[in-house]
Structure 1
């Protein structure tokens, strides 16, 4: 009986010690390890560099790579990720609204200026009347593309459209452009099927297109579509999250971005 009591006491102590190893709130982000999601391409490449920098500060980062824009947020909201880095603020705001989630931004990262590309024309002004124009089919990036065209003087949107513009908000379309909504990730593969198309930078670079060199129209640097690091609201003030932001916004990562992407991606935290 004495031996059984000793055994039970040992098991109890092991449970207590194990519990002390976890944080008080039960969130993963109190540990010196984070699971971070990113989309394939530039965001993945940059996070690999961030991972190196963070390691020097005692933070281990495990990367999970995604090929679409929805799963990284769903997985974060479900608790399978601790943070993600791939989206701009308007997209995050819309996702929260559509899915009743409470994901928040904890730091700016980069601006991937959206570009318009064409295999047949060297300038946006060369597009003929009735030209087929490929547009991302998700609301925020579709709106973004429309605003780029409006700023260049090729369409006019309703005054109250702001960041929620859709095709129904087009009030003037002098060249009668035919807009074809396509999955953002697939547009580079379908570029030959349209006269021109708006492509997100990460997908463009993946296809060998560099915005600064290859785009026939490029988004302005005063764009509101700066990318961010997102976490669950409950973790926004965690020390380890601040370590992640610090690593991302380091001089080492800034230099990597400027050299690796030849000016096509712009750092946004300065």
Structure 2
């Protein structure tokens, strides 16, 4: 009798495991980190459902952990980063995550409380910029675009302060954590930050925006993108996600609801 029960238990367990595997194959798990990533995915959740998949959204603010979960299979994909950040993660962790689809460009802006034109910035002015590598490089490239500084040729994507070739106004750079940029802006009155940071200062639209990052071959690589494992890139799961993430519905949302801080990348 015990032997029969044991065999029966094994059979039942086998059916359960198969059932779980089948359910998992029809579930797409995607990691996000901040607005509007989760809102975009919620917008397409029912559309993905019609294509036979349950879209599960995981809010994980730690970017490193978010990528590790994609790499180890706990997540199928995430939508938290641009190509340059992913390159740094892959190099540091010996992983091979890939960009599946650029989704939107988050606007990067030089804000000023006191000046109306870039040419008004005085000698020895202090500009607050993010201290992390990817956002620092992006901030320096924005200032290069604005002709406030000149970067060395070929040093745009991973620029540091040492890569400044010319600094005619002798700008002083105040490097701080991105989360404290808005607070520090109250003191310095000049900062490179995202409109979502400025929103905490009750700044909306183009208020106090002195120079907005221009689209070019370098800045196009900063688009927030859907990333996944290379082995999943051509899977039906990822292709279904791409189909709905690049829909007119998402484009309209980005233009109408998030146009103050972004533009579509598709």
Q: TM-score, normalised by structure 2?
A: 0.88
| Partner in structure 2 of residue 5 of structure 1 | 3
| Partner in structure 1 of residue 36 of structure 2 | 42
Q: Judge conservation of contact 2:103–2:225 (CA < 8 Å) in 1.
A: yes
> 5 Å matches for 1:97-136?
97-136=91-130
| Partner in structure 2 of residue 258 of structure 1 | 255
Q: Judge conservation of contact 2:194–2:261 (CA < 8 Å) in 1.
A: no
The 1:103–1:172 alpha-carbon spacing in structure 2 relative to 1, beyond 3 Å, is same
What's the CA shift for 1:149?
0.9
User: Is 1:217 the counterpart of 2:214 in the alignment?
Assistant: no
Secondary structure of 2:157's aligned partner: helix
The 1:203–1:241 alpha-carbon spacing in structure 2 relative to 1, beyond 3 Å, is farther
Q: What is the rounded CA distance, in whole Å, between the counterparts of 2:46 and 2:76 in structure 1?
A: 18
Q: Judge conservation of contact 1:84–1:229 (CA < 8 Å) in 2.
A: yes
Deviates more, 1:235-244 or 1:60-69: 60-69
Instruction: Write the deviation string for residues 150-190 of structure 1: whole angstroms up to 9, x where unpaired.
Output: 11111011113131111000011111111111112321232
Secondary structure of 1:109's aligned partner: strand
Q: What is the rounded CA distance, in whole Å, between the counterparts of 2:159 and 2:60 in structure 1?
A: 27
The 1:7–1:234 alpha-carbon spacing in structure 2 relative to 1, beyond 3 Å, is same
| Partner in structure 2 of residue 17 of structure 1 | 15
Quote the RMSD (CA, aligned, Å): 2.4
Secondary structure of 1:36's aligned partner: strand
Q: What is the rounded CA distance, in whole Å, between the counterparts of 1:4 and 1:127 in structure 2?
A: 85
4+ runs of 1 displaced by more than 6 Å?
none
| Partner in structure 2 of residue 84 of structure 1 | 78
Q: Judge conservation of contact 2:70–2:228 (CA < 8 Å) in 1.
A: yes
Instruction: Write the deviation string for residues 59-99 of structure 1: whole angstroms up to 9, x where unpaired.
Output: 22222224454342233334432211121111111111122
Q: What is the rounded CA distance, in whole Å, between the counterparts of 1:166 and 1:48 in structure 2?
A: 38
Q: Judge conservation of contact 2:112–2:191 (CA < 8 Å) in 1.
A: yes
| Partner in structure 2 of residue 238 of structure 1 | 235
Unaligned segments of structure 1, at least 5 residues: none
Secondary structure of 1:179's aligned partner: strand
What is the aligned length?
A: 263
Q: TM-score, normalised by structure 1?
A: 0.87
What's the CA shift for 1:209?
4.1
User: Is 1:226 the counterpart of 2:220 in the alignment?
Assistant: no
Q: What is the rounded CA distance, in whole Å, between the counterparts of 1:69 and 1:127 in structure 2?
A: 35
Deviates more, 1:255-264 or 1:63-72: 63-72
What's the CA shift for 1:52?
4.1
Deviates more, 1:56-65 or 1:201-210: 201-210
Q: Judge conservation of contact 2:113–2:208 (CA < 8 Å) in 1.
A: no
Secondary structure of 2:128's aligned partner: strand
Instruction: Write the deviation string for residues 73-132 of structure 1: whole angstroms up to 9, x where unpaired.
Output: 233334432211121111111111122222111111011121111233333332221111
Instruction: Write the deviation string for residues 10-56 of structure 1: whole angstroms up to 9, x where unpaired.
Output: 112112222323559xxx9x622222221222223323323343234
